[in-house]
Chain A
Amino acid sequence: EAQVTQNPRYLITVTGKKLTVTCSQNMNHEYMSWYRQDPGLGLRQIYYSMNVEVTDKGDVPEGYKVSRKEKRNFPLILESPSPNQTSLYFCASSYTINQPQHFGDGTRLSIL
């Protein structure tokens, strides 16, 4: 089954404790992206990657890092999480840029 898999689905942690949210797709998609969803703001792009070892900033990259060492994986790293990063996070992928994106099921992060 074609899918985008995010882990964990839920995480409660404390300020400053490094965390990684994993994202994996099994569709051989070149393009992957991370979004955060906040009430009243819709979804905003954090980072994106157009292929292995090619990443770039989206609209709200501060406080986040990403890497794309393999085509299927695109982890989101919060080196020193803060409460303002409490949000619902989505990973998405598409075969190429400007194609409809497939979304993962979301990761709810709470930073205390």
Chain B
Amino acid sequence: AQTVTQSQPEMSVQEAETVTLSCTYDTSESNYYLFWYKQPPSRQMILVIRQEAYKQQNATENRFSVNFQKAAKSFSLKISDSQLGDTAMYFCAFMSRETSGSRLTFGEGTQLTVNP
């Protein structure tokens, strides 16, 4: 079974600065997806970024980018030029492409606060 670990329960950053959220995972599979989801106080689950394991290039979406280290099973999220609207709970998630069920396995979450 896969596990996802986010070792930082809470983080804070000043507006306009850069912050990196950590995520590690454990799997014996080689073909999978990794995701970062954002959950603002409205509690919606919003997909921030997706990485396919077979792609060596790190995914980027505007101010959001990842550092995907497959051998180390590490998948960190970097937020550049942080904005007040980035304040949210962030979840790292794993999805196998090799097994059925399309189960997303989530980490415990990191609460990010952006301070003015």
Which residues of A are in contact with B by a Cβ distance under 8 Å? 31, 33, 35, 40-45, 48, 50, 56, 58-59, 88, 90, 92, 94, 97-101, 103, 105-106
Contact = CB atoms under 8 A, between A and B. Distances in A.
A94 B102 contact: yes
B44 interface: yes
Interface of B: 4, 9, 33, 35, 42-45, 47, 50, 91, 93, 95-97, 100-104, 106-109
A93 to B, nearest CB: 10
Given A42-B91, A43-B91, A105-B43, 9 more contacts: A35-B104, A40-B108, A42-B109, A43-B93, A45-B103, A58-B101, A58-B103, A100-B35, A105-B42
A48 B106 contact: no
Contacts, number: 59
Tell which of B47, B100, B101, B107 has the most Cβ of chain A within 10 Å.
B101
B43 A44 contact: no
Nearest to A48: B101
A88 B43 contact: yes
24 contacts: A31-B102, A33-B103, A40-B9, A40-B108, A42-B107, A42-B108, A43-B106, A44-B106, A48-B103, A50-B100, A50-B102, A88-B43, A94-B102, A97-B101, A97-B102, A98-B33, A98-B95, A99-B102, A100-B35, A100-B47, A101-B102, A105-B42, A105-B43, A105-B44
